[in-house]
Amino acid sequence: MFITVGKKSLITVVSLAIAGIILACTLGVTSTAAVFFGKSSRKIPVYGVEVKGERKVIALTFDAAWGADKTQCIIDTMKKYDAKGTFFLVGFWLDKFEKETKAIAEAGFDIGNHSRNHLNMPKLSDDEIRAEIEYVNDRVNELTGIKPTYFRAPFGDYSDRLMSAIEELDMVGVQWSIDSLDWKGLSAKEIFNRVVPKAKSGDIVLFHNNSDHVLDALPLVLSALKEQGFEFVTLSELVATEGYTIDNNGIQHLD
C-alpha cells in the first residue's frame, strides 16, 4: 500500500520524527522504537537482571502446562548439579498434578504463576485477568504454603493492563532473556547451542517441564555453565521485588 504525501506534509512528518528522536535522546532513552513523539513505552516485565561484581548467576525456569512425567527427573538432575530453579505453573496443571507441585516446593524451587487457563491475557477483561492470577496464587498457597511472587504471561504476551494487575497484587512480571525453544522438539545439542554460548550473568532461561529433550539437554547445559563458573539460582534470589527500575530492554537495575 502506498500513500501520497504532499511536500509540506512530508516536511512536517520528518520534522516531527526528528523532534521525537531529539526528545528521546534528551530524556536518556536508548531505544527510539520505545518512543512515539516523546511518549514513553508501555510497562515492561523483567527479562534479565543487571548483576554487579564478578559473581555469575543464572536462573533456569520451567513452564509447566501439559504433562508432568519428567518433572521429578528435572528436580533430581538439578540437585545433582547443586542447582535450584523456578517452575511457572498453570492452574489446570497444578490441579491435576498436586503431588508434583508439592515436590517442587519441597525441593526448594520457586513456584511462579503462569495463569489458570493459559489464555491470551491481554484479551481478557480486568476482572478475568485478576481471577486468572489469583486462582493460581490461592491454589499454590493451599498446596505448599507459598504465595507466588512472580508472574509469567502465557505466550509471553503482555499489556499495560496486565502489568498493572500484576503490580496491584504485589507481584513482578517476568519474561526471559534466553529461550531454549525446547518446546519445538529441538535436540539436546540444539538446545545446548541456544543456551550456553549466549549465557551471561543475570540471564533468565526458558525451558518447559515436559518438552521432548529437556532431560537430555539439561545435564549438558548445567555441566557447561557450571564449568564456566555460573551459580544456578531461583528467581527470588535474582529478581528484586522493590527498589528497582527496568530499562527499555527489560533489564532490572537496583536503585
Side-chain-facing half-sphere of 46: CA atoms under 13 Å: 30
CA dist., res. 213 & res. 235, Å (int): 23
CA-based angle 241:94:89, to the nearest 5?
A: 35
Residue from 63, 110, 182, 203 carrying the catalytic annotation: 63
253 is catalytic: no
CA dist., res. 142 & res. 204, Å (int): 27
Please name which of 43, 39, 41, 40 lies closest in space to residue 165, comparing C-alpha atoms: 43
Please name which of 38, 72, 46, 78 lies closest in space to residue 60, comparing C-alpha atoms: 78
Which residues have C-beta within 8 Å of that of residue 33, sequence separation ≥ 6? none
CA dist., res. 224 & res. 213, Å (int): 17
Long-range contacts of the stretch 68-71 (C-beta < 8 A, 24+): 68/93, 68/96, 68/97, 68/100, 68/209, 68/210, 69/210, 70/209, 70/210, 70/214, 70/215, 71/97, 71/100, 71/103, 71/104, 71/209, 71/210
41, 249 Cβ separation under 8 angstroms? no
248, 31 Cβ separation under 8 angstroms? yes
Residue from 118, 138, 208, 247 carrying the catalytic annotation: 208
195, 224 Cβ separation under 8 angstroms? no
Would you name the residues annotated as active-site residues?
63, 208
